[in-house]
Structure 1
Amino acid sequence: MSALLSVQSASKRFRGLLAVDSVSFEVEQGAIFAVIGPNGAGKTTLFNLIAGVYRPEQGAIAFDGRRIDGLSPDAICALGLARTFQIVRPFPHLSVLENAIIGALLHESDVEAARGAASDVLRLLDLWDIRARKAASLTLPDRKRLEVARALATRPRLLLLDEVMAGLRPAETDRMVDILKDLNRSQGLTILMIEHVMRAVMALADRIHVLHHGATIAEGAPEDVTRDPAVIESYLGQADHPVGALG
């Protein structure tokens, strides 16, 4: 496998705060790669650098061998890199299907073609039966899946998932895990995820990258990272992430 995404020595500062401190990693084609760390570790800022919201002050970011740091978010999305957001904000007065159609219009030439593509995505995410419902009426689990559906409708090769498990019950988390596994295996979708729910991280990730105070403190296979003393001390040993609960 080859690297689909390459982040090399990326840094971002907000006034006196170094939010991302010379972070480097590669995500291989077809992988599921997780970024974890405590709140304030720089994870979402890192996603914003990759997705084009911010430009890194140093370093380089490449997607499929092409430099993308400095490109606009819409240009990066058009290349095949889509993202979800930690706080989901669908168009509340549009239906589930209409929300997905908006994403599909990135590559489809007309509304009917976009409707067909969006319909396929909703079936994958178990949202087809509620396609006519207004987004404002959805439960949190359904809104989370709609957020993923809107991103998938843009036909990405790499999907950035920002805490899609947050607020879900264990059964709902397991359902999302199954959906993401299927997308990865059946469609070859590469996934880069920020996640606090270690149950999901351990079930999905091939590799884990750990941030603390904006800097990398560990990277490796899940079973190795979760035994790393620095990771246990800075993150997994916290009350809401007990190491013994990783199974």
Structure 2
Amino acid sequence: MDLSQFPITQKWPAQHPDRIQLYSLPTPNGIKVSIALEELGLPYEAHRVGFENNDQLTPEFLSLNPNNKIPAIIDPQGPGGKPLPLFESGAILWYLAEKTGRLMAADANGDAADAQAKKFETLQWLMFQMGGVGPMFGQLGFFHKFAGKEIADKRPLERYVAESRRLLGVLETRLQGRQWIMGDDYTVADIAIFPWVRTMVGFYEAAELVGMKSFPNAQRALDAFLARPAVQRGLDIPPRQAPGK
């Protein structure tokens, strides 16, 4: 498989061009895709996009994702057997689920219409993460742990804390009586949402701030998510630290 048409391969050469090429870092958005690839068992090759070197701003990376965000992929076996470049973690998750027919809610009765409805319900919750959980939790992290702490006006932090609590409440209600977002079926919706919950309570150190103890269903599902072997493998792909550091 020849991927030389993609300039990104000049900076990150493909040692296995027949495999999905993943350009990423283990951020909440990055690990969504590495976890999905591990869950699906798809052959892939991971390339570390180092933020410390501004790799995401290089011409090679921008040629694949002009929005300069990780993750991005090239699937050498895309639709029609042609290579497919793709960015945006939610789009990549949906593509991988469609490609394999897995990580979607199944229909136990074999009803095609019901299966289609569940498919779009899964997409609905994936969009819930993309449009709500990710942006709001990210802003919470900025104002609580990073440079936002220096801002005297506390209204931005208060806003994002309140909105994060509200979103956790939506998640808590959805998980009442359900093992996963879609019931018994583990899907891309879970893979999208729980890396952000993990980061919010862990890396951002905001569990007490948002009152995580008030959301036992969300905590229970997060623990189950983190216990999955594929999740554990995907959490550090590509490695957070550059080789030799």
TM (norm. structure 1) is: 0.30
| Larger Rg over CA atoms | 2
| Greater per-residue helix proportion | 2
